[in-house]
Homo-oligomer: A and B are copies of this chain.
Amino acid sequence: MRVGCTRIPVMNRLSPAQQAALQSTFGERLSLRAADRASHGRDESFYAPAEPDAVLFAESVEDVQALVAWCHAERVPLIPFGAGTSLEGHVLAVQGGISLDLMRLNRILRIDAEDLSCSVEPGVTREQLNAALRDQGLFFPIDPGANASLGGMAATRASGTNAVRYGTLRENVLGLHAVLPALGLIRAGSRAKKSSAGYDLARLLVGSEGTLGVITELTLKLHPLPEQVAAAAVQFPSVAAAVRTTIALVQSGVPIARCELLDVHAVRAVNAHDGLGLAEAPLLLLEFHGSASSVREQIETVQACAAEQGGLQFAWAETPEARSKLWRARHHAYWSALQSRPGCRCLTTDVCVPISRLAEAVETAVAAAEAAQQPHFIVGHVGDGNFHIGYLIDPARPEELARAEALAAQLVQLALALEGTCSGEHGVGLHKQGFLLQEAGAPAVAAMRAIKAALDPHGVMNPGKIFSRQG
């Protein structure tokens, strides 16, 4: 499956009659064009592209309902497609079928400022939503870096920076609508802040990676824009010192809004790419939200914690522009690091561990990469115990991929031994299926499969993802 840059050539597996039926139902919204199939057969993961047989550009919930029903009846795979920013191969049509592009379903349906909530279609991106909210003094905090679609973020249970304070998609979905193969359109949750009415179908769909149904509407929690925001870059003599500072902060209960680690390799990359001019040393990027006095208190605590760990210097981003520059650089870290080794590809881990074990996990990962002389960098949502070590690989040298795979697998083993998880936020997708089995255990994965079989009895929803073989 995992073959670097080699594309798997596939025939279109739809019969002429199936193609005709789809075209008759959807007209020009259905595309069989090579360019559309190619662009919907790849994401930002390391995987070889796998093209769908057709792409439906849905323009209504009725389009989604019609396609789901058709795929269910015809036993044709259906792969929901958002912004295509998955890092785990979620949108690759590994068994062919129809890619359901949801990006035209991009209306913000309502903003209920008084209730701190909104409803959106799945193709709305987080930046689009935040642009619409700004005038209302509100924001949607979940920020995985990429300008992902909210439907895709829900499907992978995304988080990113800010989750340390505001939670992940899981905590920020009040309700959703989804189309299931056997049961059609369902509503889950409500606009109330909490509910004990029946099984929590909303949180079952969140993180299901398109394997149970297609999310067609999300009702999300919003947050008031903080009265004051301050950001700082603090540098440390070692990654370990930065991590120990993070642990102390989290244990102190400081409601820090962002706490991101960049190791020296990532710092060099963002210096080169975004001209930040930082010292070449490990870095914590921090953001504080609250009232003026609360922000002041948080900063004092952070300064004390950092000083104890030999924090070298604080650089403040006072203005919104300076803050934006800092966070843009953080979000560019992945691509900046890729450019640091021209022509390379990146294999990224996503482990998340209890905060008390974070130093051990990071130090072990770094030592192993260095011992193997594997070029790498680290960025991490360390306030949550989640970090990514990216292994930079020359695709012309298969032994580098094998080495990186081995390092990544070792790190997952360590994270599981530390009672953490193989995936903090990217999802299982194609590559972590064995890790999931190991982490959750066979009976729990059997329970997931049983749920999958109950809601998608013909196995048409995004087959080949999460589970190594579909029911």
Which residues of A are in contact with B by a Cβ distance under 8 Å? 112, 114-117, 156-159, 163, 167-168, 170-171, 180, 182-188, 190-201, 203-204, 206-208, 223-224, 247, 250-253, 291, 293-294, 297, 350, 352-356, 384-386, 419-428, 432, 435-436, 439-441, 443-448, 450-455, 466
Contact = CB atoms under 8 A, between A and B. Distances in A.
A292 B454 CA distance: 53
A455 B466 contact: no
A83 to B, nearest CB: 17
A115 B196 contact: no
Given A294-B294, A454-B453, A423 B207 contact: no
A195 B421 contact: yes
Contact of A186 (B350, B386, B444): B444
Nearest to A420: B192
Contact of A443 (B158, B171, B184, B451): B184
Contacts of A385: 192-193
A260 to B, nearest CB: 15
Nearest to A227: B253
Nearest to A384: B193
B352 A447 contact: no
Closest 8 CB pairs of A and B: A454-B454, A114-B356, A195-B421, A224-B253, A191-B419, A203-B203, A186-B444, A450-B454
Query: What is the total number of copies of this protein in its complex?
Result: 2
A117 B250 CA distance: 12
A446 B188 CA distance: 12
Contact of A192 (B115, B251, B354): B354
Given A180-B447, A183-B450, A168 B190 contact: no
Contacts of A203: 170, 200, 203-204
Q: Which of A183, A190, A204, A250 has the most CB of B within 10 A?
A: A190
Contacts of A448: 198-199, 201
Given A253-B224, A424-B192, A206 B200 contact: yes
